[in-house]
Amino acid sequence: MNRNDLDWWIDLVPDAAIVVGRDQVVVAANGRADAIFGAPEGGLKCKALELLIPEASRQAHRQYVADFFCEEECRAMGAGLRFQGRRLDGQLQPMDIMLNRIKVADQEFTLALIRDDSERVAIQQIREELETTTARLARAQEVGGLGWWEFDVECQRLVWSPMVAAILGLPEKIEASLALVAEHSHPDDRPRVLDLHRNLMTAAGTSLTYRIRRPDGEVRWLQETIDHGTGNRVLGVMRDITTEKSLEDRLRKESVIDDLTGMYNRKQFNRDLKSRYSAFIRRGRNASVIMYDFDHFKNINDCHGHLVGDKVLRQAARLVMDQLRPSDSAYRLGGEEFAIITGDTVPEDAVQLAERVRHLIEGAEFRADDSLVRATVSLGVSGFRLADNHFEDILRRADRALYQSKRKTRNTVSLIE
């Protein structure tokens, strides 16, 4: 083949093709090459090769082409050595090039077959973005304790994300199973979990909060929400809310616990007394209220200081709470005024508890640094009556009983039934 045959020969090549001499000038190009570089028909012929190379790459590419004529190996299409070509309008375009050497009339030339690589680059970018997004989503699910499962009702097939297994404390490769979720749920919550999973088709929009016990014994709180996906598919989202639950419990406790003594505060006292009154009215379950107040507590503060006074209240609170049953609760109503609600007791039994409290505090030696302090309390006791119209009626009677003790000799217990 001679030089004159190059033009018709190169037109037979199905890909865009150019032939370049050692002087790096295009000696032949087919119409597909003209089109890919944005040149008019025949416009690439006799053009310097560097016009088709991005300016920043021209020097390195010039040396690469020169070296290529000395190499024996050629580069195949799809070898991964892709680069940016420069169209004649200056626009850069991803291209994949196969290089080979040819001889025409005893002269060596480089034949370049060129393909537009834009679609592959776009797909690669989408794939990389998808992988990045998936990694971010997986990390977000991990940080947020979020897992999901999907159940195909028709095929009876369940799949779940690795975070579900992680939440349950199970190996990542374990077979997905809602029965496993129920198996690891807390025994007290298991019936509700089983009921939810047995009625998936009618549970859309249902959200259930329950506990699971992991294999290591740790108890975690989960919130599981059911939604219907496309077709016969049901989607479940599981979120570990243990941290939120702990915070919620702490905030709730802080809102009803007295900071100094660790007893419940007046807010919780009113709530519990109202609940006890409702139980008395509906089911006849009686309860008693013991109110007590420290005698001459101002003298302790004046003689020893308020810090010592606080320590006396704190130490006395521990003594009192150690005397209570699980059905009893103790409260600081304010200052040195306290109360106890005893569950399922008649006032006579509550008087016995009040006497124990009185004796304990009277006999206690409250120590604060080098100070030894003694204290006494006066107490008043009352129980619910059938004639009560409001839960505060019992409180008024217990308060009157307390002031009877104050008017007597102090350090005593009075009862108004």
Question: What is the spatial distance between Cα 100 and Cα 298, in angstroms, rounded to a whole number?
Answer: 104
Is residue 400 exposed (0-12), middle (13-18) or buried (19+ Cβ within 10 Å)? middle
Burial 334-366 (b: 16+ CB within 10 A, else e): eebbbbbbbbebebeebbebbeebbeebeebeb
Contacts of 283 (CB under 8 A, 6+ apart): none
DSSP characters over 298-315: HHHHHHH-HHHHHHHHHH
Decide if 145 contacts 167 (C-beta within 8 A).
Answer: yes
Decide if 113 contacts 102 (C-beta within 8 A).
Answer: no
3-state helix, strand, coil in the chain (%, to 5): 40, 30, 30
Read off the DSSP letter of residue 75.
B
Decide if 238 contacts 223 (C-beta within 8 A).
Answer: yes
Largest CA distance in the chain: 133
Contacts of 231 (CB under 8 A, 6+ apart): 154
Angle formed at CA 157 by CA 156 and CA 160, multiple of 5 degrees:
140
Catalytic residue (choose from 172, 336, 365, 392): 336
Task: Identify the CA nearest to 344 among candidates 327, 357, 331, 356.
Answer: 327
Question: What is the spatial distance between Cα 243 and Cα 246, in angstroms, rounded to a whole number?
Answer: 5
The sign of the torsion formed by the CA atoms of 32, 34, 37, 40 equals negative
The token pair that represents 290 in the structure block: 């013991």
Q: Is-catalytic flag, 336?
A: yes
What amino acid positions are annotated as catalytic residues? 336
